[in-house]
Structure 1
Amino acid sequence: MLKKLVSLYENSILFSKRPNQPSEQFYYFFSEAENEWIGIPKTDVSEKELRLLTALYSLESFQVPRTSTTEKAWYDFLFSHAPVPPTHTETFIRLIQFHINGNDVNQGEIESALKGFFTDNCLIIWENGSRGMVIEEKKQITLSEEELIAMSETLASDFYVKISFFVGKLHHLSDQLRAKFLLEKEYFSFAMTKLTNPAIFTFERVFPAYLAHHLPDELNKRGSQEIVAVFHDDPELFSTIKVFLENNLNASMTAKKLYIHRNTLQYRIDKFTEKTGIGLKDFYGAFTVFFACLLFENQQEG
C-alpha cells in the first residue's frame, strides 16, 4: 500500500527501516503491516489528506535537528515566498540542484561529502529526502563541469546511489531569483523524467529537448519530416547520428561510445548524408538534424 502512495506523491520517500536523518519538512508514516516507513513533504499534503493518512497509518514523530537560521531563510525564500535572505549587496548566486536515486539516503553523510567537494561556506538546502541544492556565491565557485562529473561518480561509488546535478546559471540575488530557480527546477524535473540521465544537466543540454517536447502538434508534424522518416526506417542510424552530434562531431569519441570502428561510423554518416542531403559539419545542418533527433524521440515515447 505504501508503494502506491509513492506513485501518488512523487516527492515521497520509502524507507525499509526507521529514518535516521528525518527532515522537519516531511510527515513520516509507519505501516505496521508492511513494516515500512514513508516520508511525504508537508507541502504536498492537504489537511484532509493528512487526516486520512493518519487514520490509516501511524504518524511518527522525530527529534529533528534544527537547521541554521541562514538555511531556513533560504528555504523559506525559495519555497514559501519569504523575503530575500540578508547578504552582501550586489551578490551573484549559483544554485546547483541535485537528485539522489537510491534507498535509505543518509542526508547527513551525503551533505558531509558534498561539503568536502565544495567550499566550506557553501549552503546545502534539502527540499525533500532525495533532492536539494548547493547554494554558492560567485566568489565561492571553484568546481568545473568535469569536476562535478567526477564528484558524482565518487559519490555513486561511496554511497551506492546515483546522483544527478543541474548546474544553474549565475543570477543576481534579488526577488527575481525565486522565479529563475523555479524555472531551472522545472527543467531539472523534465530532464530526470524525459532524458537519459547523465551526471550533469545544464540549461543548454536540457532546453532543446524541452522545446521539442512542448512543440505544438502541427509544428511537430512539420518539423524535419524527411529526417524523422529516415530514422523510422533505420533506428540504428538514428542512435549513431545522435551520439555523434552529442559528442561535438568527434569521430573517435563517438566510435568508442558506440563500440564500433571509425570506418563503420564514417559509413553510417555518409549513408545518412546520402539519404537526406544534409552535411553534419555545417552548423545549420547539425542543428536541424539534432532537433529532428529530439522530435523522433518524442514520437517514439508517444
Structure 2
Amino acid sequence: MLRKLLSIYKNSTLFSGRPTHPSELVYTFYDEIANEWIGIPKAELGEKELTLLKTLYELVEIQPVSFSRIGKTWSEFLLSDGPPPIYKDDTPLRFIHFYITGDDHHQEEMESALKGFFSEEIIIIWESKNIGIVIEEKKQIFLSEEELLSMAETLESDFYVKISFFIGKLNPFSIQLRTKFKQEQEYFSFAIAYLGFSNILSFERVFPSYLVRHLPDELQQKINQEIFELFSNDTEMFSTIKFFLEQNLNASMTAKKLYIHRNTLQYRIDKFTEKTGIGLKDFYGAFTVFLACLLFEQQKK
C-alpha cells in the first residue's frame, strides 16, 4: 500500500528499515504488515490527508538529533540503562526536565536558544520531539527559578510555544543518579498528565498532588466530607481557599492576585472556618485542608 503513495506524493521516499535521520520537514509513516516506512514532505499533506494517513498507518516520531559523544553516552545511561558516562565521583549535577507544547518547533533551534540562557556549558538530550533534559553541572552559578520562568516567557514569545520546566534536585554523580532521574521523570510525567500547564514545576510542587492521586480509596473517603460538601456548593470558596494556601497564607498577595478586597477574602476564610471548624492559621489545619483541596480537584476531573 505504501508503494502506491509514491505515485501520489512525488517527493516521498520509501524505506525498508526504520529511518534514523529524518528531516524535520517530513512525516514518517510505518506499515506494520509490509514492515516498511515512508517519508512524505509535510508541505504536500493537508490536514484531512494527514488525518487519513494516521488512521491507516502509524505516524512515527523519530528523534532527529545528532548527539555529541558525551550527549549520546548520557542518553544511553539515563534512557536505555547503558553504562554511566565518565565523570569524577561526587560531581554535583542537576536535571532540568522540559516539555514543549505543539509541533511547530525545530529541536536544533530550541536547543541553541536554551543553551544561550546558561552561563556554563550544558548537555541537552531529547526523549522525544517535545520532551528533553538539560544536564547542568554545578560549577559557579545555577539559574534560579525566577530566571527559568523568565526564560520560559522569552521562549514562548520568540517561538510561539509553551514550555514547562521541572527543576530537579542537585545530586552528586554516581551510578544511583539514574534512579533519581527516573523518579523525577515520573513526577514530571504525572504533572504533565494531571496538573495542567505550569511554566515551573518541582518535587515539592508536584508531590502533594502525586500523593493524593495514589491514596487508597478508603483513605480518600476519610477526608472531611464537610469540606467537600462546602466546596461543591460554593466553587468560589474552593478556588479562594486553595489559592490562599498556595500563596503561603499571605492575605495581601491572595487578595491582590484574585482582584478582590482583603475584607472579602477574610469573610470567605471566616466562613470556611465557621462551616468546617478547621482554622487555616496553623500548619496542621492548613495541611489538612490543602490535601482536601487537591483531592476535591482530582475528583472533579
Question: The TM-score by the shorter chain falls in which range?
Answer: 0.7 to 0.9
Partner of 1:230: 230
How many residues align? The count is 264
Q: Is the 8 A contact 2:103 2:130 kept in 1?
A: no
Output one character per residue of 1:56-98: Cα deviation in whole Å (capped at 9) or x when no partner: 4798999x56321000000000011111110122212100000
Q: Which has the larger radius of gyration?
A: 2
Map 1:51-66 to 2 at 5 A: 56=57, 66=66
Output one character per residue of 1:149-169: Cα deviation in whole Å (capped at 9) or x when no partner: 111111111111000000011
Partner of 1:110: 110
Secondary structure of 2:221's counterpart equals helix
Return the letter of the residue paired with 2:154: T
What is the CA-CA distance between 1:282 and the residue it aligns to? 0.5
Distance in 1 between residues matched to 2:125 and 2:24, nearest whole Å: 18
Map 1:204-219 to 2 at 5 A: 204-219=204-219
Distance in 2 between residues matched to 1:171 and 1:146, nearest whole Å: 21
Distance in 1 between residues matched to 2:257 and 2:102, nearest whole Å: 26
Distance in 2 between residues matched to 1:19 and 1:220, nearest whole Å: 46
Distance in 1 between residues matched to 2:38 and 2:68, nearest whole Å: 22
Is 1:138–2:138 an aligned residue pair?
Answer: yes
Distance in 2 between residues matched to 1:277 and 1:157, nearest whole Å: 46
CA pair 101-140 structure 1, distance change in 2 beyond 3 A:
farther
Q: Is the 8 A contact 1:20 1:106 kept in 2?
A: no
Distance in 1 between residues matched to 2:87 and 2:26, nearest whole Å: 29
Moved more, 152-161 or 172-181: 172-181
Partner of 2:247: 247
Taking structure 1 as the reference length, what is the TM-score of the superposition? 0.80
Q: Is the 8 A contact 2:166 2:201 kept in 1?
A: yes
CA pair 60-253 structure 1, distance change in 2 beyond 3 A:
closer
Map 1:76-115 to 2 at 5 A: 76-115=76-115
Which among 40, 43, 48 is matched to residue 30 of structure 1?
40
Where does the alignment leave 5 or more consecutive residues of structure 1 unmatched? 1-17, 39-52
CA pair 185-58 structure 1, distance change in 2 beyond 3 A:
closer
Output one character per residue of 1:195-245: Cα deviation in whole Å (capped at 9) or x when no partner: 132210000000000010111111111122222222122111000000001
What is the CA-CA distance between 1:260 and the residue it aligns to? 1.4
Q: Is the 8 A contact 1:21 1:107 kept in 2?
A: no
Identity, % of aligned positions: 59
Return the letter of the residue paired with 2:40: F
**Structure 1 residue ranges, 4+ long, deviating more than 6 angstroms after superposition:** 57-62
Partner of 2:270: 270
What is the CA-CA distance between 1:250 and the residue it aligns to? 1.4
What is the CA-CA distance between 1:188 and the residue it aligns to? 0.6
Partner of 1:12: none
Q: Is the 8 A contact 1:28 1:60 kept in 2?
A: no
Partner of 1:19: 24
Q: Is the 8 A contact 1:100 1:161 kept in 2?
A: yes
Taking structure 2 as the reference length, what is the TM-score of the superposition? 0.80
Return the letter of the residue paired with 1:19: E
Q: Is the 8 A contact 1:168 1:203 kept in 2?
A: yes
Q: Is the 8 A contact 2:61 2:129 kept in 1?
A: no
Return the letter of the residue paired with 1:181: F
Distance in 2 between residues matched to 1:187 and 1:60, nearest whole Å: 23
Output one character per residue of 1:87-139: Cα deviation in whole Å (capped at 9) or x when no partner: 12221210000000023211112111111111341111111111101101122
Q: Is the 8 A contact 1:99 1:131 kept in 2?
A: yes
CA pair 214-200 structure 1, distance change in 2 beyond 3 A:
same
Map 1:158-237 to 2 at 5 A: 158-237=158-237
